Amino acid sequence: MSTIDHEKYEAVIGLEVHAQLLTQSKAFAPVTIQYGGSPNTQVTPLCLGHPGTLPVVNENLVRYIIKMGLATNCSVAEKSIFARKNYFYPDLPKGYQISQYDTPICYDGFVDIELEEYDKRIGLTRIHMEEDAGKSIHDQDPYNTLVDLNRAGTPLIEIVSEPDLRTPQEAYAYLSKIKQIVQYLEICDGNMEEGSLRCDANVSVRPRGREKFGTRTELKNMNSFRNVERAIHYEIYRQIELIEGGGEVVQQTRLWDTAKEQTRPMRSKEEAHDYRYFPEPDLPPIIVTDEMLSEIRKELPELADVRRKRFIEDFGMSEDDAVTITDSRYLADYFEEVADHLGNPKAASNIVLSEVLRVLNEKSIDIRQFPVTAEKVSALVKLKEDDKINSSAMQQIFNALLDEPEKEPADLAKEMNLIQVSDSSSLEPVVDKIIEEHPDEVARYKDGKKQLMGFFVGQAMKATKGKANPKLVNKLISEKLND
């Protein structure tokens, strides 16, 4: 067993997140982006790096990144320029990526993350625009690497955090927050498994109490939130053990191997000068006017943090429930629609948190794929509130609606014979019969064993196949036994 005291060390982590933007066309060329198209069908001479082609900036690329900048409390540069990042790779026919270097369009921002025990503010160094490279495919042909250039030139933003994160859990929470924001803004679908959100994690360790950072390694190839957390965890331990064993961390890029659950070296980390950055001569600077900024500011939706506070303050929702419901913008929209129809936020959050979320989890779907409209779910809850059906009937009708979402809950209640019996005249004979058949229980009840009410109500529910209005049964029995 290792005798190393890992607690002697503190990790320092900074994340670079690439988000693929949901613009309709590429960053600098009028080519429509369609995911899943046959290889090399979505390309123009510009994407192929043919001489004489000239880039033009996609206006939405600029608008989307400004949205992100404003949503993350960044300053937006009045003037920023593009730069060429030069390197050779078969999937990069131009020999350079158009990116931004020393004048990113957004800078100096922050996001607040929430962990179980504490909240923390994480600084954002910068957010800049760049274009993606193509895809090299190594596993389809045993002798050759195949290249698909459909992705070449698709727009990305790179969100660079300050080295403010200290644990894998903080990194996870930060990444979740970034995902939530891009989804609320509808600028990226935020799917790490499919690669529309990608994360490189920079990790170093230092003895606790020391101010100077240690040498960092950069981890790549994590394709899920959990893997980012695992890779960082592994790397922290690897570095500590290396140092404690008398070794030294070298600055390098390392690949996460999901199967082996470890990181391995890929290449020594290139420095900025290796890329020979220089200003892109074919594109004018991006000028952001005050009008543009205020226009974009107006388009910003209410973000999760603000929405969560509003749900707690206006609806008396618990913190946990508010966090769950506002995690997705669309789930929060759905909830608000139900609450509006019902005029009762408590009943709305009950059904959304229990029934609706259960189905989303079971089927691994998003609320946008949920078949039953907010209106129908509200109508169902209303039936229950009006005492037309009881809770068990509500659940049965809810399940039936999943298969037949076009039907009205009230029609289903009738069809399924679940309309609650709420008139005394038809319940009285039922109650009388139960009293007659259970003299012992009646005697004990009269002796003071009031808990037996549950038994009587249960018998009545059984006799009516669950359709009796339990409140009314309760009332009838009390009246009869307290005579």
The binding site for Mg ion (CB under 5 A) comprises 16, 200
* Closest distance of CB 187 from ligand ATP, Å: 20
- Asked whether the CA dihedral 435, 438, 444, 448 is positive or negative, the reply is negative
| 384, interface contact from ligand ATP, Mg ion, none, CB < 5-8 Å by kind | none
Report which of 180, 200, 215 is spatially closest to residue 72, judged by C-alpha positions: 180
Phi-psi region of 126 (alpha: psi -120 to 50; beta: other; left: phi over 0): beta
Q: Which is nearer to Mg ion, 16 or 327 (CB)?
A: 16
* Closest distance of CB 210 from ligand ATP, Å: 12
| 74, interface contact from Mg ion, ligand ATP, none, CB < 5-8 Å by kind | none
Q: Which residues, 6+ apart, have CB-to-CB distance to 317 below 8 Å?
A: 311, 325, 345, 349
| 153, interface contact from ligand ATP, Mg ion, none, CB < 5-8 Å by kind | none
- Reduced to 3 states, what is the DSSP secondary structure of residue 21? coil
Q: Which is nearer to ligand ATP, 35 or 87 (CB)?
A: 87
| 13, interface contact from Mg ion, ligand ATP, none, CB < 5-8 Å by kind | ligand ATP
* Closest distance of CB 275 from ligand ATP, Å: 7
- Reduced to 3 states, what is the DSSP secondary structure of residue 397? helix
Q: Which is nearer to Mg ion, 173 or 219 (CB)?
A: 219
Report which of 60, 76, 374, 36 is spatially closest to residue 186, judged by C-alpha positions: 60
Q: Which is nearer to Mg ion, 128 or 308 (CB)?
A: 128
* Closest distance of CB 163 from ligand ATP, Å: 4
* Closest distance of CB 172 from Mg ion, Å: 19
| 351, interface contact from ligand ATP, Mg ion, none, CB < 5-8 Å by kind | none
Q: Which is nearer to ligand ATP, 44 or 252 (CB)?
A: 252
Q: Which is nearer to ligand ATP, 128 or 382 (CB)?
A: 128
Tell me how far the alpha carbon of residue 6 is from its chain's centroid: 32
**Could you give phi then psi for residue 252, rounded to 5 degrees?**
-155, 165
* Closest distance of CB 114 from ligand ATP, Å: 21
| Torsion angle (degrees, nearest 10) of CA 371, 375, 381, 384 | -110
In the bound state, the residue with its beta carbon closest to ligand ATP is 14
Q: Which is nearer to ligand ATP, 176 or 422 (CB)?
A: 176
Cα-based angle 262, 223, 163 (whole degrees, multiple of 5): 75
Q: How far apart are CA 227 and CA 29, in angstroms?
A: 34
Q: Which is nearer to Mg ion, 128 or 388 (CB)?
A: 128
Count of CB atoms situated within 10 Å of the CB of 39: 14
Q: Which is nearer to ligand ATP, 141 or 211 (CB)?
A: 211
* Closest distance of CB 125 from ligand ATP, Å: 6
Cβ atoms 371, 359 nearer than 8 A: no
Q: Where are the alpha helices (DSSP H) in 327-416?
A: 329-342, 345-351, 357-363, 374-385, 391-403, 409-415
Where on the chain is the footprint of ligand ATP (CB under 6 A)? 12-16, 160-163, 202-204, 213-214, 216, 218
Q: How far apart are CA 85 and CA 79, in angstroms?
A: 19
Q: Which is nearer to Mg ion, 130 or 321 (CB)?
A: 130
Report which of 216, 238, 116, 114 is spatially closest to residue 163, judged by C-alpha positions: 216
| 14, interface contact from Mg ion, ligand ATP, none, CB < 5-8 Å by kind | ligand ATP
Tokens for 433?
A: 């019969």
| 12, interface contact from Mg ion, ligand ATP, none, CB < 5-8 Å by kind | ligand ATP
| 409, interface contact from ligand ATP, Mg ion, none, CB < 5-8 Å by kind | none
Tokens for 465?
A: 């196949």
* Closest distance of CB 254 from ligand ATP, Å: 13
| 216, interface contact from Mg ion, ligand ATP, none, CB < 5-8 Å by kind | ligand ATP
How far separated are the first and last CA of the chain, in Å rounded?
Answer: 76
| 280, interface contact from Mg ion, ligand ATP, none, CB < 5-8 Å by kind | none
* Closest distance of CB 218 from Mg ion, Å: 5
* Closest distance of CB 314 from Mg ion, Å: 40
